[in-house]
Amino acid sequence: MDRPSIAFTNSSSSTAATQAGNAAMAAYERIFAAVFPPSADAVVPTPAATPILGSTGLGQSFGGFSVPEPEPQNSAEEQIKWDRSWHTATSYLSLPNELITVAHARQSEDALKARWFKPFRAETANDVSYIVSSESQGRKLRKGLVKDNLLQWYFEEAVCRHYMYYVLPTVIQCLNDKLDQRGLYDTIQVLQVAQAIYSHPLKNHISSFLPQKGAWELEQARQSLHSLFAHSIPTENFTAQVSQFLKEQASTVLCINEAQDQQLDPAIISSARRKTTRVMESLKNIGLAGPKAERLFAEVMSGILDQFVAIQFAGKWSSPSKIPEQLRDWIENRFSRFIVEVLAHVRDANLDSGNFSHSISYGDTLKWQQMGIRKLGELRVEELFDVVAEWSMDSQGAIEDLKYYVREGKWRFHLTSMFCEALSRRLLQPGASTTEILQIYMAIIRAFTILDPKGVLLDRVARPIRRYLREREDTVNIVVGGLLADLEDDPPVSGVLYELAEELETTGGLPVDEKVEDFDDLDFDDMMWEPDPVDAPLEYKRSKHNDVIGALISLFETKEAFITEFEKILGERLLRNEHEFDKEIRVLELLKIRFGEPPLQSCEVMLRDIMDSRRVDAFIHKEQNFAQNQRLHAKILSHHFWPSLHTDDFHLPAPITSLQTRYANSFAKLKASRKLTWHPSLGQVTVSLDFEDRIVREEVQTWQASVIYAFDSSSSSSPSPPATTQSVQTLTSSLEMSESLVRNALTFWVSKFVLVQSAPDTYRVLETLPSDTLDSATSTTAQAAARAAASDAVTSAAASSAVKSEEDMLQEKMEVYWNFVKAMLTNQGAMGLEKIVMMLKMVVPGGFPFGVDELKAFLAGRVEEGRLEVGLQGYKIVH
Amino acid sequence: MNYEMEDSQNAAPGHATVHEASKLSSSSRRQDAQSVTKRLQTELMQLMMSSTPGVSAFPDDPNDLLAWTATITGPAETPYANLIFKLSFVFPNTYPYAPPTVLFKTPIYHPNVDFSGRICLDILKDKWSAVYNVSSVLLSLQSLLGEPNNASPLNGQAAELWDSNPVEYKRLVLARHQDLDEE
């Protein structure tokens, strides 16, 4: 029997627990009771048969007259008394319909008092005490009407109305008209005056009649008033003005616009500081401080921090960087102090007394410092491209600043993505020269190696740049040219990557010791070991090519591409120059360290060829005893090891040919098993031309020399009678030189005032220089044009290189492609252009580099030659 | 329990199971196909680099190098002078260890070629060696046109006429020949 009883007590206690529960119970009781016939003593005006309509509670009548409450005694008298007192009180409390203007607000306190404060007379005091007292009889009569609570009436009827009609317009006007701080000051002033006027009668007179001196009621009234202010003020303008004010004061107090070593006048700072605290204090007094203002302040301070970092540190990249320390110091000693100071005035002391501490902890300061460092990092990330682009030892500071920033994963990501974006926007454009890109890439390598020695960041930012550089055709050329560049070049030739030569000079170009790197992680005794950064990709291995030269050399997919280019440039330099090849030898040695000996074997042979040639040359000269003006020096090349050479063939002048024969004979004696094959187009000639009035001495190429030799009047071998005049056609046929080369040489000599064009395609020796050469040369337009063409020709002649260019190679390859096309069409029958291209793309090893248009042009040539014909089914071989 | 499986797992390690055997052979076949393709690619490149007059060949489908078409021009001073003959090459997967199958597509009147184009040539049969290639086969065929092997003819009439009646021989050659391109 125990159990149910326990259950019963439980349930009863739980239902009694809540009021709602009670009400529900009552309703249930009624429903329940309604089903049964009512008890006899209940008044039931309606038949029991209609319970659906609902019923009144037990013991209550349905309709009829309500029983009036017992009327107080002397009700009429009381009522009159109440009304009279009410009237007196309200008329005392009512406010005059008068605008509170800015001018009023600025009046002295006494003037204000005289104007707005009404005298509080004794009878008023009586009436008020009657109205306010809770026991007064009149209140009961007025129960439920507005007119029973004097304070409520005062606030709603008097204060609200007055504020809306006579204060708010002034405030709005202040905020609208004066966008400077006066507007804010005036607003605060007006609101303060209004608050003083409104609260005066309550505080000074009425509160004394209230229980506990009306502390609760006054607080209530104050809060209502403040919320009235807060909700009525035009928020946007007000916020703007306050934040503007705070910004100005804060920047003055914290001296953010001044140079580091300069300080503002302390008087100005302290006045700004006072102004701020005063305004904040007043805002708190009129209830406009609060959390909103605090937030506003926080926003302003965050902006100030941004501004400080931007103004003080932008573009200051000097190394070693003290900026992070400066920033920390500033935040700790000035920034957070100012915050503490201001917040003390903003925060409501009453609210703080609870669980809410208004003191700023040291933790907050640390947080701000971190934020400052982050903002500094963001600034540096934005500047990073410029830092790198203008890289020098002085700008290392910026990178040092960033070191603090890149400790966290997401900032690292931010950095790389921002930098890559800047790269693709500012650097990887068709407008940027390859040299420029390479220079910046070198700077990037240096900068990022300082920033992140592990190389993860470099790996990420270098990728797009490397990909882009691989697409540029001249990259290899410039890199190799840079390695071999002559640092003594004066003036520096544009487009040459001297930095690379410098780097080679300084670092010796030695790669980092790769073996040590490889076993990095296995060295358990390494006490300096650090884990890879968090954002390192899986299986990340520090790139071996973090040194500048290594990075550039490894740009190319295969070292073969690099070495082929190196061979070409080396070959060119070896053939062109006469000086010692120390530099070349050194670069070759360095490359050997990197690539190993075997791939560079032909370079080695090339260098040795040149060295051997000198010895052989000296020997032959000794044996043959060449005359003074008959010096023929040869470079003997091992054809197999040299890159393919230009072998334009033409007739050399007879004396040279005889020299060649003598030379070859000697050589045959020296090296019996070998035979010399001359390359007439490669070589330099020192030409000395004797004219009637002058001697011209030029260092020229062999073909240029051969052409001018044909004009030699003293030579008996020249076929046409007046040797001093030659036409392009005769030259082409007598020298068996290609026409373009002949023309090129002719224009060269014209530019040297050795030849002159006497008729179209006919040139004559300029035996005596006209006295006004320059004038006459420029006076006739024809000659001016000729000279322009000549200078073009000279540059093009200079550009014509000993080693076959890429384009020539392509032309050669085209011959192979032609064989493919031939075989294809022969065996597979006629084919359309597209199909030919498609087949070529699939069949040609290494791919077919041309498109439909190039092939069409090429095939058109073959059609013209009669080797192809175009039919309905496409191209067809003519047998 | 699958006992069969267990058996195969417990089989002596020296003997390859059926599974392994098939895997081995398939992979080696694939490797063969690859090496054949590679070899044919090299041959094609060689052919292209050194164009031999009167002889040319090209794959039918660049995706499958195992079938080629070749062209031979008849050597001068033979009954076949200036005639163009097309041939088909089909390379086995074992190439170059087995000879390609070569057929004349162009109808030809020749002692060593039958009427469906089959050729009787020792190097395409028992004398095949891996050092031969498309180019050498074509050159042999070209010379076969001028110097037929009448000892083992596929076309007895032609073998007989070659020696006895060159004029009639030439007439038959020209009568039989049709340019495939004209079709």
The list of chain A residues with pLDDT below 50 reads 1-18, 44, 47-51, 53, 68-69, 351-356, 509, 511-519, 716-721, 773-780, 794-795, 797-799
Provide the CA B34 distance to its chain's centre, in angstroms: 19
Whole-number percent of chain B with pLDDT over 70: 80
Could you tell me the two tokens for A703?
Answer: 């073909």
The pTM for the full model equals 0.54
The answer to whether A307 and A372 are in contact (CB under 8 A) is no
* A537 DSSP assignment: P
Q: Is B120 marked active-site?
A: yes
DSSP track, A377-434: HHHHHHHHHHHHHT--GGGHHHHHHHHHHTTSHHHHHHHHHHHHHHHHHHTSSTTS-H
- Among A836, A843, A844, A867, the strongest candidate for a mutation testing the B interface, having the largest count of B CBs within 10 A, is A843
Cα→Cα distances A40→A36, A37, A57, A59, A459, Å: 12, 9, 15, 11, 99
A819 and B49 within 8 Å at the Cβ level: the answer is: yes
The answer to whether A322 and A256 are in contact (CB under 8 A) is no
A828 and B69 within 8 Å at the Cβ level: the answer is: yes
Q: According to the model, what pLDDT value does residue A775 have?
A: 46
CB atoms within 10 A of CB A571: 25
State the burial class of residue A143 (Cβ atoms within 10 Å of its Cβ: 0-12, 13-18, 19+).
exposed
Could you tell me the two tokens for A800?
Answer: 């014509």
Distance CA A297, CA A250 (A): 10
Q: According to the model, what pLDDT value does residue A804 have?
A: 55
A823 and B56 within 8 Å at the Cβ level: the answer is: yes
> What number of helices (H) and strands (E) belong to chain A?
39, 7
- Grade residue B8 by pLDDT with cuts at 50, 70 and 90: very low
Could you tell me the two tokens for A677?
Answer: 């094959």
Distance CA A46, CA A48 (A): 6
At position B175, the amino acid (one-letter code) is A
Q: According to the model, what pLDDT value does residue A195 have?
A: 85
Cis peptide before B96 (omega within 30 of 0): yes
What does the angle CA A97 – CA A101 – CA A103 come to, to the nearest 5 degrees? 135
Provide the CA A31 distance to its chain's centre, in angstroms: 76
Q: Which residue has the tokens 């100030």?
A: A304
Could you tell me the two tokens for A676?
Answer: 């010399």
Distance CA A838, CA A6 (A): 95
Q: According to the model, what pLDDT value does residue A339 have?
A: 84
At position A700, the amino acid (one-letter code) is V
Distance CA A197, CA A167 (A): 11
**Does pLDDT of B143 surpass 80?**
yes
A to B CB pairs, distance under 8 Å: 43
Distance CA B171, CA B177 (A): 10
Q: What is the mean pLDDT of residues B98-113?
A: 90
**Does pLDDT of B18 surpass 60?**
no
Find all residues with CB under 8 Å of A179, minimum gap 6, and list them. A241
The answer to whether A701 and A741 are in contact (CB under 8 A) is no
Q: Using a CB-CB distance cutoff of 8 angstroms, which residues of chain A are in contact with residue B73?
A: 879
Q: According to the model, what pLDDT value does residue B103 have?
A: 92
B59 and A843 within 8 Å at the Cβ level: the answer is: yes
Q: Using a CB-CB distance cutoff of 8 angstroms, which residues of chain B are in contact with residue A871?
A: none
At position A801, the amino acid (one-letter code) is S
What does the angle CA A766 – CA A771 – CA A777 come to, to the nearest 5 degrees? 65
Distance CA A745, CA A749 (A): 6
Q: According to the model, what pLDDT value does residue A35 have?
A: 62
With CA atoms as reference, report the closest residue to A723 among A756, A757, A765. Answer: A765
Q: Which residue has the tokens 């550039």?
A: A552
Q: How far is A845 from chain B (nearest CA, A)?
A: 8
The answer to whether B157 and B120 are in contact (CB under 8 A) is no
Q: According to the model, what pLDDT value does residue A13 have?
A: 41
Element at A505 (helix H, strand E): helix A498-507
Element at A246 (helix H, strand E): helix A235-253
Element at A687 (helix H, strand E): strand A684-690
Q: Which of B41, B49, B58 sits opposite A828 (nearest CB)?
A: B58
What does the angle CA A376 – CA A380 – CA A384 come to, to the nearest 5 degrees? 175
What does the angle CA A749 – CA A750 – CA A756 come to, to the nearest 5 degrees? 125
B70 and A828 within 8 Å at the Cβ level: the answer is: no
Q: Which of B48, B63, B71 sits opposite A827 (nearest CB)?
A: B71
Q: Which of B41, B56, B63 sits opposite A827 (nearest CB)?
A: B56
State the burial class of residue A262 (Cβ atoms within 10 Å of its Cβ: 0-12, 13-18, 19+).
exposed
The answer to whether A504 and A593 are in contact (CB under 8 A) is no
- Grade residue B88 by pLDDT with cuts at 50, 70 and 90: very high
CB atoms within 10 A of CB A204: 11
**Does pLDDT of B7 surpass 50?**
no
Q: Is the dihedral of CA B90, B94, B96, B98 positive or negative?
A: negative
Q: What are phi and psi of B42, to 5 degrees?
A: -60, -45
Q: Is the dihedral of CA A542, A544, A549, A554 positive or negative?
A: negative
Q: What is the mean pLDDT of residues B31-49?
A: 80
Distance CA A826, CA B106 (A): 14
With CA atoms as reference, report the closest residue to A313 among A268, A370, A380, A368. Answer: A380
Distance CA A286, CA A305 (A): 29
Element at A870 (helix H, strand E): strand A868-871
With CA atoms as reference, report the closest residue to A736 among A678, A653, A650. Answer: A650
Tell me which chain A residue has its CA closest to the CA of residue B69: A827
* A520 DSSP assignment: G
Tell me which chain A residue has its CA closest to the CA of residue B56: A823
The gap between the terminal CA atoms of chain B, to the nearest Å, is 67
Count Cβ neighbours within 10 Å for each residue of B126-135 and write b for 16 or more, e otherwise.
eebeeebbbb
DSSP track, B130-177: TT--HHHHHHHHHHHHHS--TTS-SSHHHHHHHHH-HHHHHHHHHHH-
Reduced to 3 states (helix: H, G, I; strand: E, B; else coil), residue B104 is strand
Catalytic residue among B113, B120, B138, B161: B120
Could you tell me the two tokens for A756?
Answer: 């002159």
Q: According to the model, what pLDDT value does residue A517 have?
A: 45
Q: According to the model, what pLDDT value does residue A546 have?
A: 57
Domains in chain A, CATH or no CATH each: 35-46+74-233 (no CATH), 683-800 (no CATH), 806-877 (1.10.10.10)
